[in-house]
Structure 1
Amino acid sequence: MNRRIPAIMLKEVNHILRDSRTLMIVILMPIMQLVIFGYAMNMEIRGIRIGVYDYRDSALSRELVHKFAATESFQISYPQKPIGEMNRYFYQRAFHAFLIIPADFDHTMVRQNQAEVQLIIDASDPNAATMIQNYSFAVVNMFNDAERLLPIRVKTNILYNPDLKSAYFFVPGLIAMILVMISALLTSIAISKEKELGTMEQILVSPIKAHEIIIGKVLPYILLALIDAMLVLLIGKYLFKVPFVGSFPVFLAFTMLYVIVALSLGLLISTIARSQQAAMMMAITMTMLPTMMLSGFMFPIASMPKALQLITRFVPARYYLQIIRGIMLKGNGFAQLMQPGLALILMAAVLLILAIKRFSLRLK
């Protein structure tokens, strides 16, 4: 091996160990991001306060109310004020919704084999209102199944996430976002730091080639990024209870490939930015926003306009999300993940070539 590459690696490792900011980015930032985002992005509703006006108060109507109360999502109580004061309850945010059971509830159930109840929802938060509506429909369907035979009964088998836990969806996305942001952030300031410290001039007069500098600087950060990957994977598995049913070597191989893409992007940014601050801003802007919005993490790609769908093809996290969800939840191997893997290989090659060319121009 060329002796210059290990020398550059050793120099970069010494910089990392002496720089408390880098160590904070590597260790604390991934933990904080995964824990905060993981809990904040939980789409499973809890503590929804529903006021019940049961004008029948029969065994059947109480059974329906019990179905709502038995879920972890709803908190059931009976308002003391009459139904005419409902808007005041909404203004005070005392309730999120009201369930109104009419006095003829039992009668229509027996005579017509169906009955109507009213659910009034505060839709000032439309997302929460939609979720309350969907959860309520699910509870009513359970009540229908328990109380009467339906002409057609649908048996649903939900694969890979039988309890529909949102953590199964969000944690892999958070891992993808954290890895690309941390990796690009670390390397984006690598060359910018050399310029600010005045050590770039020493590199320029040395016989070191561009690819040797890049390899020497990237290798330590690959190791740090893989440590981050293990850290966030363990947090996802043991704190958020997200299963890992696939092969760990397959996960490690594709994660290393994804990290190389992110590090190459960071190096390319560092050849463009004139300061560490500018490099950090560019790295965060070019990784966090596209990963959250254009990778399929927050919104389905199929629902986006055609122009945006085309742009998503240039977002590395789009392909890594397919890979990590396939490995963690489905147990996919190399054969099933070849297509997104090839896309990452192409991205890594293009970004590395661009970074080396730009840095070669600097050396000249």
Structure 2
Amino acid sequence: MPSFSRIRAIAEKEVFHILRDSRTLVIIFLMPLLQLIIFGYAMNMEIRQVPLLVDDLAMNSSSRALVDAFVNTDYFQLVPKEAGTLQPDELFRERRAQASLSIPKDFGASEHRVLLRIDASDPNSAQMIQNYALGIVNSTGIQTDAGIDLRAQILYNPDLKSSFFFVPGLIALILVMVCALLTSISISREKEMGTMEQILVSPVSATEILFGKVIPYLVLGLLDALIILAVGMLLFQVPFRGDFSVFLLFTFLYVLTSLCLGLLVSTVAKTQQAAMMMALGMTLLPTLLLSGYMFPISSMPVILQKLTYIIPASYYLQIIRGIMLKGNNIAQLYQAGLSLLGMSVLMLIVAARRFKLRLS
């Protein structure tokens, strides 16, 4: 039976190491904030100020109303008249225009069609430009030949802000990277500093050592989560529509899972450098590519969809997006939470057994 007093002694020793190691303090407090700010602004998928070339042959009230509808948004800006003397294809090649709007002479009288040409060398941007343009045209009330009035209601993110999608994902990415990194180097540090021998001769079991190592970082991981959440909501105006206690509960499970992953790495790596490389390799790319952070899991090949089951962030992304954007409660999220709990218990058991072998 693990002794609470021995676990507390190991935990106090780890806190002392944390306070003395400036590198650990940087990883805990500075690195998450820098990652949030850099990734948050760099991964903004929204498009603003698209250079738009307008060829208005109608020059009537209807055509001017349509052009004004484009200009009066933050999505498009008119190409200057002097540049408009060039051929549209030349402007596209020189990246001085990304879209062109051609309005025929009879527009507003017998003709309601316009031609929108878009530079699709960047297909994602082209798709977004097309969506913006269609939304603007529909907002003008111009009737189509089909006469169908289709109205869409956008739920949870009516302005389609990409920050609503990426910031919760950044919280998941940063937490798993930082937490796994911290515990992965904790045992490796003991080996390099030569203090592991002192632990070996003391009456402390492998389980007590691992618990003592995890507890300080568990508290710091939760503190990190609160800081990242607050900064993300402040800088990027992301809403929080759920119950804060539910957020804390599931974040606790996610941080615990990430820490146990780091412990598992630390039982394999022999040096701090190797531990850091392994921790980053097991968290960064899998979280970016296979968790649903950047690409929908449903659009992946079946084999990759199966791999997402072993990625902790894939479960936490369901949780945090559900809490922050939809206001989900435990009843809608408990399955993902149980998956995180099962992963943390499994990794802790494997890490404890491997550590016992190392001790013996």
TM-score range, shorter chain: over 0.9
Superposition deviation, residue 320 in structure 1: 0.7
Q: Does 1:175 align with 2:171?
A: yes
Q: Does 1:200 align with 2:196?
A: yes
Superposition deviation, residue 78 in structure 1: 4.7
1:304 maps to 300
1:299-354 deviation line (CA, Å, top 9, x unaligned): 11110110000000111111111111111122222111111111111101110001
Q: Indicate which of 123, 127, 130 corresponds to 2:124.
A: 127
1:164 maps to 160
1:112 maps to none
1:137 maps to 134
Aligned partners of 2:83, 2:309: CA distance in 1, in Å? 56
Structural mapping, 1:29-40, within 5 Å: 29-40=31-42
Superposition deviation, residue 86 in structure 1: 2.1
Preserved contact between residue 101 and residue 114 of structure 2 (Cα < 8 Å): yes
Aligned partners of 2:304, 2:189: CA distance in 1, in Å? 35
Superposition deviation, residue 276 in structure 1: 0.8
**One-letter amino acid of the counterpart of residue 190, structure 1:** S
1:189 maps to 185
1:255 maps to 251
2:19 maps to 17
Superposition deviation, residue 34 in structure 1: 1.0
Aligned-pair identity in percent equals 58
1:4 maps to 6
| Residue segments in structure 1 that go unaligned for 5+ positions in a row | 110-114
Q: Indicate which of 55, 58, 61 corresponds to 1:59.
A: 61
Could you say if the C-alpha distance between residues 96 and 82 of structure 1 is closer, same or farther in structure 2, counting changes exceeding 3 Å?
closer
Could you say if the C-alpha distance between residues 192 and 242 of structure 1 is closer, same or farther in structure 2, counting changes exceeding 3 Å?
same
DSSP 3-state at the match of 2:53: strand
1:75 maps to 77
2:233 maps to 237
Superposition deviation, residue 235 in structure 1: 1.1
Superposition deviation, residue 79 in structure 1: 3.4
1:93 maps to 95
Aligned partners of 2:39, 2:285: CA distance in 1, in Å? 14
Superposition deviation, residue 164 in structure 1: 1.6
2:311 maps to 315
**One-letter amino acid of the counterpart of residue 125, structure 1:** D
- Which shifted more, 300-309 or 75-84? 75-84
Superposition deviation, residue 105 in structure 1: 2.2
Superposition deviation, residue 81 in structure 1: 5.1
Aligned partners of 2:120, 2:144: CA distance in 1, in Å? 31
2:260 maps to 264
Root-mean-square deviation (Å): 1.7
Superposition deviation, residue 166 in structure 1: 1.2
Aligned partners of 2:67, 2:79: CA distance in 1, in Å? 10
| Residue segments in structure 2 that go unaligned for 5+ positions in a row | none
Could you say if the C-alpha distance between residues 191 and 81 of structure 1 is closer, same or farther in structure 2, counting changes exceeding 3 Å?
closer
Aligned partners of 1:246, 1:256: CA distance in 2, in Å? 16
Q: Indicate which of 26, 29, 41 corresponds to 2:28.
A: 26
Structure 1 runs, 4 residues or longer, greater than 4 Å off: 81-84, 146-150
Superposition deviation, residue 72 in structure 1: 1.2
Aligned partners of 1:120, 1:212: CA distance in 2, in Å? 66
TM-score w.r.t. the length of structure 1 is 0.94
Superposition deviation, residue 127 in structure 1: 1.6
Preserved contact between residue 53 and residue 88 of structure 2 (Cα < 8 Å): no
Preserved contact between residue 53 and residue 78 of structure 1 (Cα < 8 Å): no
Superposition deviation, residue 147 in structure 1: 6.4
Preserved contact between residue 183 and residue 221 of structure 1 (Cα < 8 Å): yes
Aligned partners of 1:322, 1:23: CA distance in 2, in Å? 30
**One-letter amino acid of the counterpart of residue 67, structure 2:** V
Aligned partners of 1:82, 1:176: CA distance in 2, in Å? 46
**One-letter amino acid of the counterpart of residue 116, structure 2:** L
| Count of aligned residue pairs for this structure pair | 358
DSSP 3-state at the match of 2:100: strand
1:330 maps to 326
Aligned partners of 2:157, 2:87: CA distance in 1, in Å? 41
Superposition deviation, residue 139 in structure 1: 1.3
Superposition deviation, residue 362 in structure 1: 0.7
- Which shifted more, 146-155 or 351-360? 146-155
**One-letter amino acid of the counterpart of residue 121, structure 2:** S
1:70-100 deviation line (CA, Å, top 9, x unaligned): 2111112353356662233223321111111
1:194-253 deviation line (CA, Å, top 9, x unaligned): 111111122222221000100111100001101100001101222111111111111111
Superposition deviation, residue 108 in structure 1: 2.8
Aligned partners of 1:28, 1:82: CA distance in 2, in Å? 48
Preserved contact between residue 312 and residue 318 of structure 1 (Cα < 8 Å): yes
Aligned partners of 1:226, 1:275: CA distance in 2, in Å? 27
Preserved contact between residue 51 and residue 99 of structure 1 (Cα < 8 Å): yes
Aligned partners of 1:147, 1:200: CA distance in 2, in Å? 77
